[in-house]
């Protein structure tokens, strides 16, 4: 539906030129909850602003339903944006805010009233329709901003970090709420966040970005289980990186020798030539074991209790750095470990993902 082809954006000129986006290509499908995820400054907002029409690409094209958007001003695009700041009109009531875009479009009064009622019901704000927006909470303001953006029924809704001003609990609630809204309206959502957990929870697909480039596009599980490179593995979730030597490869499975001398199997994609690689291991895919049973050994330096889980930090004998494991705090969780204990680390039958350096 939205076809972004080889889009580059350069700000400034000459020696001050800065390439905010570098040949970005991505296709966003109709009815999709699509997330642009990446660290601050990677170009997410710039890409969103180009879909909205607030910026034009330096090179490349953006098509919407097959139409080239070049030269089309924002108000002629079937696209609406929800900003982090909500940008509500403080002197208007909730209902007037929601109807604002429709009034600008010159829609008939009774149609506006009906749409406003429908949108307020959708975001569960019917009771507060006549309140001034200065007299409602942050979470409620967020709902009004959403209702206002949805009211003209855009084909695409762009959301730029819309939940970042909310506290943790409200944010969790609004994540589910946004997902529900997207399901119920069938509108394509393009969502920008730097919060990987938020992206994994909400998205149909995610594009992971860094330094103006897309590093990987996939469904949340693909991105988490099969990170394409070290940046993605590091940015999404917690990851342990181990140096290893790839000795053999059959299909998607590689045999690796760890610095401890032990051999393990891991998932591999792409280049299968023997040599030095990095093994990426998720904390929940490893467990503590007696030292003689571990593929790795070390000393526990930290035991961190976090309610549902306990995190164990192990200083490895064989290489520099910590290995972090996570164990669910169940009543039958086995013996407690303490700082200073000598431990082994048992890896899964598939130890992790092989990354090329
Ligand atoms: P954040 O999460 O912090 O909003 P982002 O990933 O959305 O970050 P962008 O706002 O897209 O990042 O900015 C990408 C890069 O382009 C940044 O380094 C930023 O400083 C730069 N940039 C953005 N707009 C301009 C501009 N108008 N002029 C010059 N540089 C700009």
Distance of CA 232 from the midpoint of ligand 1 (Å): 20
Distance of CA 17 from the midpoint of ligand 1 (Å): 13
pLDDT in tens, 249-286: 988 899 999 988 899 999 987 777 889 999 999 998 89
Q: Whose Cα sits closest to atom 26 in ligand 1?
A: 11
Q: Which CATH superfamily is domain 238-355 in?
A: Nucleic acid-binding proteins (2.40.50.140)
Q: What would the two tokens of residue 53 be?
A: 């029409």
Q: What would the two tokens of residue 50 be?
A: 């180009």
Query: Which is the closest atom of ligand 1 to the Cα of 45?
Result: 7
Domain ranges of the chain: 2-230, 238-355
Residues with CB under 6 A from ligand 1: 11-12, 18, 20, 38, 40-46, 194
CATH class, range 2-230: alpha beta
Instruction: Give residue for tokens 């303001």.
Output: 141
ipTM: 0.93
Q: Whose Cα sits closest to atom 27 in ligand 1?
A: 11
pLDDT in tens, 84-115: 777 889 889 999 999 998 998 899 999 999 99
Position 273 scores a pLDDT of 83
229's CB contacts (< 8 A; 6+ apart) are 215, 216, 355, 356
Q: Is the model's pLDDT at 334 over the cut of 80?
A: no
pLDDT in tens, 173-213: 889 989 998 998 899 999 999 999 999 999 999 999 999 99
Distance of CA 340 from the midpoint of ligand 1 (Å): 45
Q: Is the model's pLDDT at 335 over the cut of 70?
A: no
pLDDT in tens, 306-328: 888 899 999 999 888 899 999 88
Q: Is the model's pLDDT at 26 over the cut of 70?
A: yes
As a whole-number percent, the residues of the chain with pLDDT over 70 amount to 99
């Amino acid at each position: 539906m939205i076809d972004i082809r080889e889009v580059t954006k350069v700000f400034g000129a000459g020696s001050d030129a800065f390439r905010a986006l570098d040949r970005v290509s991505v296709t966003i499908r109709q009815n999709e909850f699509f997330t642009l995820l990446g660290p601050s400054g990677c170009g997410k907002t710039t890409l969103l602003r180009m879909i909205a029409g607030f910026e034009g690409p330096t090179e490349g094209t953006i098509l919407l339903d097959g139409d080239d958007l070049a030269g089309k001003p924002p108000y002629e695009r079937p696209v609406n944006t929800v900003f982090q700041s909500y940008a509500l009109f403080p002197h208007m009531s909730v209902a007037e805010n929601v109807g604002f875009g429709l009034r600008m479009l010159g829609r008939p009064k009774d149609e506006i009233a009906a749409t406003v009622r429908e949108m307020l019901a959708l975001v569960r704000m019917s009771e507060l329709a006549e309140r001034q927006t200065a007299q409602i909470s942050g979470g409620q303001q967020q709902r009004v901003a959403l209702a206002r953006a949805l009211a003209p029924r855009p084909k695409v809704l762009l959301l730029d970090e819309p939940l970042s001003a909310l506290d943790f609990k409200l944010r969790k609630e609004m994540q589910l709420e946004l997902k529900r809204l997207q399901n119920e309206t069938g509108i394509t959502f393009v969502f920008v966040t730097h919060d990987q957990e938020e992206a994994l929870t909400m998205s149909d697909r995610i594009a992971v970005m860094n330094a103006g480039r897309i590093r990987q596009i996939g469904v949340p599980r693909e991105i988490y289980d099969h990170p394409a490179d070290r940046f993605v593995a590091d940015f999404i979730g917690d990851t342990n990186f181990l140096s290893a030597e790839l000795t053999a490869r059959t299909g998607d499975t590689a045999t690796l020798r760890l610095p401890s001398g032990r051999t393990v199997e891991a998932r591999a994609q792409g280049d299968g030539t023997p040599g030095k690689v990095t093994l990426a291991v998720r904390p929940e895919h490893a467990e503590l074991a007696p030292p003689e049973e571990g593929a790795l050994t070390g000393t526990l330096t930290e035991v961190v209790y976090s309610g549902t889980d306990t995190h164990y930090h192990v200083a490895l004998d064989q290489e520099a750095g910590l290995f972090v494991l996570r164990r669910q705090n169940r009543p039958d969780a086995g013996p407690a470990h303490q700082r200073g204990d000598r431990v082994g680390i048992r890896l899964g039958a598939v130890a992790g993902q092989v990354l090329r350096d």
